[in-house]
Amino acid sequence: MHILLTRPLEDCSEIILKFTKLGHKVSHLPLLRIEPVNHDLINFSHFKAIIFTSANAIKFLDITNLQKDIFCFCVGNATEKKARSKGFQNVIAAEGNVSNLKEIILRNFNSSDGKIIYISGELLSSELDKELINEGYDLKRLVNYKTNHNKTFDDNFVKQLKLNIPEIVYIYSQNSAQSFLNFIKNYQTESLWMNTNLMCIGEKTSSILNEIKWKKIFLFNPGEEEFLLYKI
């Protein structure tokens, strides 16, 4: 099958290799650029737990003065893997969605256990921070990266993509979905996706692309990419 992956290369290099070894043709269309954001210095000793809903938050975090045995809550397997690679020892991972992450935090860390710091990008797809504050938690959110849309793409790549539309496209966020919708409209390919299966993380993400006619839409969690191939 022809598969289109849309994350930045460093975030999907492993899955590109895996799909290629399985015999699939893989095209790569990086829809977003992830860049660090300057922020105030944080005294991490004031916090007893840390939350990550993206591996990018870990990537751009200076962990020099951070105790690695701090409670570390991650949204899914990819984020957990990144946290462990940075030396975090006490990592608890959810099943790839924020609602499950909230449940795990409520079960494993009481509001009386201490302050929580939530490291994230500028844009959030949920209100996890506000929800936890409403539950009585003392929580600080720190923004350490931002997401920008790629607006120009290699003309030859686009030409080849139009000639050989993928059978599967993976979209990982609402930001990516909006960027992909812009790509489809800017390059006038609205009518070319009728035989393509759209794989999205969450209904909010898929809803952005509902105006395009797809063969079928599947929802998935990070780490389930290969499993989805067998549902088609």
Domain ranges of the chain: 2-29+153-229, 44-147
Q: Which residues of 107-132 are buried (b: 16+ CB within 10 A; e: fewer)?
A: eebebeeeebbbbbbeebbbebbebb
Distances (CA, A) of 89 to 73, 161, 222, 228: 11, 43, 22, 31
**pLDDT digit string, tens, across residues 72-99:** 999 988 899 999 999 999 999 998 889 9
**For the chain, where are the E strands, in sequence order?**
2-5, 25-28, 32-36, 47-52, 71-74, 91-93, 115-121, 139-149, 168-171, 197-200, 216-219
Q: Regarding the domain delimited by 2-29+153-229, which CATH topology (the fold level of the hierarchy) does it fall under?
A: Rossmann fold (3.40.50)
Low-confidence winner among 60-69, 100-109, 206-215 (lowest mean pLDDT):
60-69
44-147: which CATH number, 3.50.50.60, 3.40.630.30, 3.30.565.10, 3.40.50.10090? 3.40.50.10090
pTM of the model: 0.81
9: left (phi over 0), alpha (psi -120 to 50) or beta: alpha
Low-confidence winner among 12-16, 39-43, 214-218 (lowest mean pLDDT):
39-43
Averaged pLDDT of the chain: 94
One fold for 2-29+153-229 and 44-147: yes
Reply yes or no on whether the pLDDT at 15 is more than 90.
yes
Reply yes or no on whether the pLDDT at 40 is more than 90.
no
